[in-house]
Amino acid sequence: MNTHANLLAAEHSLLIVVDLQSRLSSAMPGPDAELMTVNAGKLAEAAGLLNIPVLVTEQYPKGLGPTAASVIEKLPENAQVFEKTGFSCCAAEGLTQALQDSRRKQIILVGQETHVCVLQTALELLHEGYQVHVAMDAVCSRKTEHKHYALQRMQHQGAIITNYESVLFEWLRDSTHPHFKHLSGFLR
């Protein structure tokens, strides 16, 4: 079957979880942070079931702490964690090499903050020739308008703005997929 090049395929996808650290999340609007964390966790768990690589970044963990425990428990065992001080994930030592080694060109971004680390990562990945998908209901900023304009800016630069349900259904592609029943439980 011939499909559109912008449809995600599990075998071409890689998930990057950007700075989902509890101390940083506590600065976000509560409902937005909760939605982001829950949806990012669902995508991380689905990625594990579907053998999709997951890369995780932590912005200055000495000051902001580790990735939130609720996210850690959803990560596949082989998820790689990268510390960084630069805002783009591409600045994290070893992350660019891990991307190249994966040989996957469809990158799904989730995390915080949309207008800083997610934005800079998306723009750099686009520049490097990756197809970037940003799950708008799995990213967050301290101010709603910052998130809104960052998503708009990324879209104007070629990023695909999507949501976690679309990502899941594109990864599955068919209700006969062996993991459909389990993953469809994420939609309730």
In the chain, domain spans: 15-183
101 is catalytic: no
The whole-number pLDDT of residue 163 equals 98
Please say whether the beta carbons of 16 and 40 come within 8 A.
no
R_g (Cα) of the chain, nearest Å: 15
Residue of 32, 42, 74, 84 marked catalytic: 84
The whole-number pLDDT of residue 181 equals 87
pLDDT tens, the chain, 188 aa long? 578 999 999 999 999 999 999 999 999 999 999 999 999 999 999 999 999 999 999 999 999 999 999 999 999 999 999 999 999 999 999 999 999 999 999 999 999 999 999 999 999 999 999 999 999 999 999 999 999 999 999 999 999 999 999 999 999 999 999 998 888 888 76
**How open is the CA angle 86-161-115, to the nearest 5 degrees?**
30
Neighbours of 76 (CB within 10 A): 17
Please say whether the beta carbons of 27 and 143 come within 8 A.
no
Please say whether the beta carbons of 36 and 28 come within 8 A.
yes
User: Under DSSP, is residue 176 helix (H, G, I), strand (E, B) or coil?
Assistant: coil
Residue of 32, 117, 137, 147 marked catalytic: 117
32 is catalytic: no
Name the percent of the chain in helix, strand, coil, to the closest 5.
50, 20, 30
User: Under DSSP, is residue 18 helix (H, G, I), strand (E, B) or coil?
Assistant: strand
The residues, ordered by sequence, that sit 6+ positions from 3 with a Cβ below 8 Å of its Cβ are 9
Q: Is 176 buried (19+), middle (13-18) or exposed (0-12) by CB count in 10 A?
A: exposed
Residue 25, phi-psi category: left (phi > 0), alpha (psi -120 to 50), beta (remainder): alpha
74 is catalytic: no
The whole-number pLDDT of residue 186 equals 81
Q: How far is CA 116 from CA 82, 104, 108, 151, 153, in A?
A: 17, 24, 16, 11, 12
Give me the CATH topology for the region 15-183.
Rossmann fold (3.40.50)
